[in-house]
Amino acid sequence: MDRSPAKLGGLNAVIRRWEFFALVVGCFVIQLLFASYFPLAQFLDLSLILALYLGWYSAPTKGMMAGLVFGLAQDLAYGQLLGLNGLSKTLIGYTGSLVSKQFRLDLLPGRFAVIAACCLLDGAVQYLTLLILEQPISSRFWSGVLIEAGVTSVVGSLGSRLYDRYKFPRKDFRKVSVA
């Protein structure tokens, strides 16, 4: 019997509506602080982590919507071309939902690999979008994407694992006494 959160009720088993809105607002505030006071912390893509995590435990359409909301919040916080991250995070939320049905993501190396691959996909979507729109692209774009993939993968895999432990504590049946 599969007791994974996806089988226990999808996104509603993982996160409630008020928690989702709290995550969006919290993510926006944290990214706003990163943009203003901690420029090196911009290598942590919190929106990608949250969109991917919610995509893991939901249907593809809910993952897409979560990605869109987190991506637009990131665009607003960083003052970027509005919709650039919205588009890429929508794709990431959808991808997260599809990947979770094909691979085991309860192990740390699997989460790390999926988050790193999605960071590279996110960078590729942003690069192609900027190229199509004929916007200026930094000469250090890909080196930034690689650094972001490493930082985001480490923080995302550990953070999502901790959140899973909090939301779905393991049961210890050895302590049950039979009376």
* Full-model pTM: 0.83
User: Is 53 inside a domain boundary?
Assistant: yes
Burial class (CB in 10 A: 0-12, 13-18, 19+), 135: exposed
What's the domain range around 99? 11-169
User: Is 122 inside a domain boundary?
Assistant: yes
Quick one: pLDDT band at residue 178, thresholds 50, 70, 90? low
| Nearby residues of 61 by Cβ (< 8 Å), 6 or more positions away | none
Largest CA distance in the chain: 73
User: Is 128 inside a domain boundary?
Assistant: yes
| Nearby residues of 153 by Cβ (< 8 Å), 6 or more positions away | 112, 113, 115, 116, 119
Cα–Cα distance between 23 and 130 in angstroms, integer? 28
Lowest mean pLDDT among 3-7, 38-42, 87-91, 127-131: 3-7
User: Is 176 inside a domain boundary?
Assistant: no
Radius of gyration for the chain, computed over Cα atoms and rounded to the nearest angstrom: 17
User: Is 179 inside a domain boundary?
Assistant: no
User: Is 97 inside a domain boundary?
Assistant: yes
User: Is 3 inside a domain boundary?
Assistant: no
Count of structural domains within the chain = 1
Cα–Cα distance between 24 and 89 in angstroms, integer? 13
For residue 44, give the DSSP letter.
S
Cα–Cα distance between 52 and 63 in angstroms, integer? 7
Quick one: pLDDT band at residue 7, thresholds 50, 70, 90? very low
Residue type, 128: L
User: Is 138 inside a domain boundary?
Assistant: yes
Quick one: pLDDT band at residue 10, thresholds 50, 70, 90? low
Location of structure tokens 């916080």: 77
Quick one: pLDDT band at residue 50, thresholds 50, 70, 90? very high
Residue 154's domain is classified under what CATH number?
Answer: 1.10.1760
Q: What is the token pair recorded at 77? A: 């916080």
Residue type, 64: M
Distances (CA, A) of 39 to 28, 124, 147: 15, 22, 14
